[in-house]
Amino acid sequence: MVWFWRLILTLDALPAEMRAKAAAKLGDAKSPNAVPALMRARHDKNSTIAEAAVAAMRQIGSVAVEPLLKRLTHTDPNERANVAEALGWLGKDAKPAVAALRIRLGDPQTLVRVRAAEALGRIGPAAVEAVPEFMSWLTDREPRLVEVAARALGGIGPLAKEALSALVEQVAHRDEAAREAVAEAIGKIGSLSRIFVPKLAAQLNHVDSDVRETIARAIGGIGPDAKAAVPALIQQLSDVDRAVRTACAKAIGQIGPNAAAAVPQLIELFNDKDYGVREHVAKALAGIGPASAPAVRGLMKLLQDDRGSVRLAAIEALGAIGPGANDAVAAIKALADEDKYAKVREAATLALATISPAILE
């Protein structure tokens, strides 16, 4: 029946629902003969059909690799780019295509190189052989290639540890998308990034606020092993830029109990005029946990905040503090009974169970 569903998929006059069903049937069949039709359908002007084609390709999985590889050297660069993109849809199932995709990293057409890099990043750790190529891209004059290389390294994850030094060098890149990709990659490589924490922390006072924000995000992505950056993060909690204050508070929360020294400075931000900062301060205190007990009184004030998201974050922080937040029980119970948002009421009930289980009996 593959031939029948291929025919249905190619008939533009048919309803989109029927053609999308045809794509799903081809995915169920897991036949390599379905690949060409699904490739064409991926670029259908109807998004329902295009999405169904991608889903079907993913369902076919590794069976699709061989027919795709046959077209990866096509004379038409657009076809090579489309094939590389399709291999990326398969994720780790496209592992047999790693060597061929690495060759395409040197393709004369930029779009093909980009699609090949994106595919290798989606394949993940199995594409570790491509790390040297991506490291060289990190110093390219074209920001798009820096961004794509960083995202691919993040997809490869901890096995891309040899690229850490090169990534840290680009954390202050002039292009915002490239910086964000670099920060994300550093976080995905994870605890192995800890040896670069001092170097990242030293740049938290960069003249560009966007760079300061990106560096804080990179530090937060490393998690508890970024403890050495806590003093620098504390200093930037008073940054003039709200986005930087928010990013630093979030990073402190991601570091968790190892950032307990930041509690006094976080308390000072309870009156910040930006509700997003107040919200992330409360979330940071939740990440720190019981050591945030000195903040209970201030968190009780946030329980009256006009913003539901701030009240929710304050409740969760008090719950994370546990029995040390006993003074807040009455205020939390009031929210559990009366707050207009269901999420706030539910969170309040959960917090009460953590702080004082007996009250719910």
pLDDT digits (tens, 9 = 90+) for 28-41: 999 989 898 998 89
pLDDT band at 357 (very low <50, low <70, confident <90, very high): confident
Mean pLDDT on 216-234: 96
Each residue of 277-286: pLDDT tens digit?
Answer: 999 999 999 9
> What pLDDT does 164 receive?
94
- Angstrom CA distances, 17 to 20, 21, 51, stand at 5, 6, 12
Query: Does residue 218 have a pLDDT over 70?
Result: yes
> What pLDDT does 140 receive?
95
Q: How many Cβ atoms sit within 10 Å of the Cβ of residue 1?
A: 10
Residue 361 burial (10 A CB sphere; 0-12, 13-18, 19+):
exposed
Question: HEC profile for 14-31?
Answer: CCHHHHHHHHHHHHHHCC
Mean pLDDT on 193-213: 93
Distance from C-alpha of 133 to C-alpha of 152, rounded to nearest angstrom: 11
How would DSSP label each residue in 187-199?
Answer: HHHGGGGGGGHHH
Each residue of 293-334: pLDDT tens digit?
Answer: 999 999 999 999 999 999 999 999 999 999 999 999 999 999
Looking at the chain, how many residues does it have?
A: 361
Mean pLDDT on 149-153: 98
Distance from C-alpha of 19 to C-alpha of 7, rounded to nearest angstrom: 9
Assigned token pair, 62 = 């590794």
Cα Rg of the chain (Å, integer): 25
Distance from C-alpha of 66 to C-alpha of 340, rounded to nearest angstrom: 56
For the chain, the average pLDDT equals 94
Query: Does residue 191 have a pLDDT over 80?
Result: no
pLDDT band at 87 (very low <50, low <70, confident <90, very high): very high
Query: Does residue 5 have a pLDDT over 80?
Result: yes
Distance from C-alpha of 31 to C-alpha of 15, rounded to nearest angstrom: 24
Q: What percent of the chain has pLDDT over 90?
A: 89
Distance from C-alpha of 71 to C-alpha of 85, rounded to nearest angstrom: 12
Distance from C-alpha of 148 to C-alpha of 156, rounded to nearest angstrom: 12
Mean pLDDT on 166-180: 94
Distance from C-alpha of 276 to C-alpha of 273, rounded to nearest angstrom: 9
Query: Does residue 3 have a pLDDT over 90?
Result: no
> What pLDDT does 1 receive?
80
> What pLDDT does 360 receive?
56
Minimum mean pLDDT range among 41-45, 134-138, 256-260, 295-299: 41-45
Contact yes or no for 204/235 (Cβ under 8 A) = yes
Q: Which of 47, 5, 161, 155 is nearest to 94 (CA)?
A: 155
**Can you say whether the dihedral through the CA atoms of 315, 319, 321, 323 is positive or negative?**
positive
Contact yes or no for 288/270 (Cβ under 8 A) = no
Distance from C-alpha of 241 to C-alpha of 69, rounded to nearest angstrom: 49
Residues 6+ apart with CB under 8 A from 154: 121, 160, 181, 184, 185, 187, 188, 189
